[in-house]
Each structure stands twice: as C-alpha cells, then as structure tokens.
Amino acid sequence: MADATNKIAADLRVKFGKGAARKLRVLGKIPAVMYGHGTTPVHVALPAHQIGLLLRRANAVLELEIDGKSHLTLVKDVQKDPFLQIIEHLDLIVIRKGEKVQVEVSVHVTGEPAPGMVADLDTKTLLLEVEAINIPQNLPLSIEGLEEGAQIHAKDVELPKGATLISDEEAVVVSVHLPVEEEEEEEAEAVEGEEAEAAPAE
C-alpha cells in the first residue's frame, strides 16, 4: 500500500534517447514512463536512490508528485543493466483506489516440518487479483510439524481479505518428504525385500 515513504517527487522528461538517459543516471535519476487508463504516456525522471530502496519490495506502489498533482502507480517492469545490475528504466501503470490488479505474490514459508523431514517449495509465487493499493508483500505459509507425504496446495494458502486466487488452485505449493538419501535407502531395502520374497526356496 502507498504511504508517506512511497511519495516521490518526479520531474517531467522532455529529452529522450540513450544519451539523455545516460545524463539522467549521472545526475542520480532514473528514466521512467507512466501509462494506463487510456491516458497519454507520461515520461518522468525519478530519484535513483529512493527508487532503489522502494524496489526492494515486490509489486511496489509509488505515489508520484508531478507539477503539484499526485498519481498512484504500480511498478510493472524494471529494466536493469545485465552486468552492473543498475536500474536503467521503469514502466509504471497508473492505478486508482479501489481498482483491482493481477500480480504475482511470493510465498513465504515459516516454521519447520516434523523432525527428519524436508519441505520443498514447489511453487514460489501465486497469481492473485487484489486491490491495487493493498498488495501483500508476501503470503505467509506455516509448515510447522508437517509429516512425510504432506502437501499444501494453492487453494490451502490463506489470502488477504479481498484477494482472489488466479493460479491453479490444485498446484502443489509445498511438499514434505524424507531426505533423498533416506528415501533411496528405503527404496533399496524395499526392492531387496521383494527380491527375497520372490527368490525360490532352496
């Protein structure tokens, strides 16, 4: 959700191209474009340091102040230098209070399975439809005490109020099993047992 820390003073851009973008980055700013709701795309420059901090959170909502007017936006795409990992450009979608959007939200596993068990996170994110200004940072999922063979499906994950699951509800999010070495040993023992039963008596 947008709050005071997400308010950003944005400057309108009138020069474009790689050269202009490089000059902006030298000045500590990031070029971005804001679009949506049938409006003409607006090109802006944003403070790089502040943006870098805010983008540590997925699906960040930014409130841009442009010429005295406030615009709520959702970060749609972040383009980075493949080598330096410096943010080069942002695509922002204009949103409105009460509007719902579809976003990928990461699953955050908490707790520990039963002693000796291993839990695999098979699905790391779920696609939700949620109010644009109330996008959860993650989806907490407890695996405390789960035994071998336990599975948690997408439909079992608790969603924030007002959110709707778009992902396949039967998708396995977490599965619990013995460590691989122990599983292999049990399988080998089972095979040996079957062979012993099948062997003719002397």
DSSP letter for 132, please.
G
Q: Which domains does the chain have, with CATH numbers?
A: 4-96 (2.40.240.10), 101-197 (2.170.120.20)
Report the distance separating Cα 176 and Cα 127, nearest Å: 23
Report the distance separating Cα 158 and Cα 85, nearest Å: 34
What pLDDT sits at residue 1?
A: 44
The reply to whether the predicted model has a pTM over 0.75 is: no
Report the distance separating Cα 186 and Cα 174, nearest Å: 22
Which residues share a beta bridge with 69?
66
How confident is the chain (202 residues) per 10-residue block, as mean pLDDT?
69 76 81 87 91 86 90 90 82 90 95 95 97 91 96 96 95 94 59 59 53
Classify 195 in phi/psi space as left (phi over 0), alpha (psi -120 to 50) or beta.
Answer: alpha
